[in-house]
Structure 1
Amino acid sequence: MLFVAVFVLLAAFAAADRQPQYSFSPPVGDGNGNSYMITGEGRITAVRVWDSYWSFIRGIQFRYGYIWSPVAGHVSGEAKEIELFEGEAIVQISGKYSHHLSSVVFTTSRGRSLHAGQPSGYSFNMYPKHPQAELVFISGRFDSGITSLGTHWAIINPSFNPSNKTKGH
């Protein structure tokens, strides 16, 4: 499934331009448990993260346009959430990990961020290779919480976003 998604993205973006428009940040974490991939149509418009009292990320969810993805991991407690403004994108993900992802920070193109978890363990910092690219999907593994996280970045044509077609802007 991951291979097919990556292949489709690479083929679509390779046809548009010779500059690298797609990049992948390899997963961090020990990677135990079940695999997940959060994908959707259009741009990411919101992010939810569930963390636990004892310091690890339990679940992550994205909204693409107006449609929420399934949760990667588990829903437990109250979610932390950031809703992106029109034209805003996720351009960096950083945090800490050991057995589980212990903290995560989603940073937007407008300098806003969503922080979740408790920072302990090894640090990571993920961002696209192309300065105009943004986060398009994530993949990894989970058991009682997120045990690995990899990121996929690409340049998205803003007119492709289904939410732009339904808004009166």
Structure 2
Amino acid sequence: MHYIALFVLLTASVLADNPPQYYSFSPAVGSGSGSAYSLTGEGRITAVRVWEAYNNYIYGFQFRYGFIWSPVVGSRSGTPQEMELYEGEAIIQISGKYAHYVQWVVFTTNRGRTLFVGQPTGHSFNMYPAHSEAELRFISGRVHRAITSIGAHWAVVNPAEKSTTEH
């Protein structure tokens, strides 16, 4: 119940800054066991960190919004893999594989760059926005030691938020 209330509040926040036709949600994939998480921040996503330990599961995520790093969801097990986005670059696709845990994740940008983390085993998934100008705004899902599910929230960025150097 708390997860639904949090989702509604976060969706309302995104919709307040963006027309409804420009928001879309890619439903969560994975087993969905454990505690709910939502990884959000203000402004555009400017960098991504993903933790994967022992050639195993995805253990944690962290986004940088503008110049501020979000808290880590999941855990910092293993060495983080990181991708810093260029000015005007945005994440437009998340794909990967899952079983009980998210096994492999690929973040793809509008410049064709990718960050691959984890092991490509399990069921495939592919998430992308419904609107061609939208980009990743935040993720949500569940975590139980490692990431058990991931869903993506997409929206067109408010023009005032487009620059990563204005902060």
Which TM-score band (shorter chain)?
A: over 0.9
Task: State TM-score, norm by structure 2.
Answer: 0.92
1:13 maps to what in 2?
A: 18
Matched, 1:34 2:39: no
**Distance in structure 1 (CA, Å) of the matches to 2:163 and 2:93:** 23
1:127 maps to what in 2?
A: 128
Shift of 1:117: 0.2
Deviations 1:131-152 (A, max 9, x none): 0100000000001100000000
Deviations 1:35-91 (A, max 9, x none): 110100000000000012142100010000000001110001210000000000000
RMSD: 1.4
2:3 maps to what in 1?
A: none
Please tell me the residue identity of whatever aligns with 1:32: S
Are the aligned partners of 1:95 and 1:124 in contact in 2 as well (CA < 8 Å)? yes
List gaps (5 residues or longer) in structure 2.
1-5
Are the aligned partners of 1:138 and 1:150 in contact in 2 as well (CA < 8 Å)? yes
Compared CA separation, residues 123 and 74, structure 1 to 2 (3 A): same
Please tell me the residue identity of whatever aligns with 1:69: S
**Distance in structure 2 (CA, Å) of the matches to 1:85 and 1:54:** 28
Task: State TM-score, norm by structure 1.
Answer: 0.91
Residues paired across the two proteins, number = 162
| 1:30-109 alignment, distance < 5 Å | 30-109=31-110
**Distance in structure 1 (CA, Å) of the matches to 2:23 and 2:64:** 21
**Distance in structure 2 (CA, Å) of the matches to 1:54 and 1:111:** 25
Shift of 1:164: 3.0
**Distance in structure 2 (CA, Å) of the matches to 1:70 and 1:24:** 22
Shift of 1:8: 2.0
Deviations 1:11-45 (A, max 9, x none): 3322xxx7x20000000001001111010000000
After the TM superposition, list the runs of 4 or more consecutive aligned residues in structure 1 that deviate by more than 6 angstroms.
Answer: none
**Distance in structure 1 (CA, Å) of the matches to 2:140 and 2:23:** 15
Identical aligned residues as a percent: 57
Deviations 1:95-115 (A, max 9, x none): 000000000000001000000
Alignment partner of 2:17: what SS?
A: helix
Are the aligned partners of 1:30 and 1:99 in contact in 2 as well (CA < 8 Å)? yes
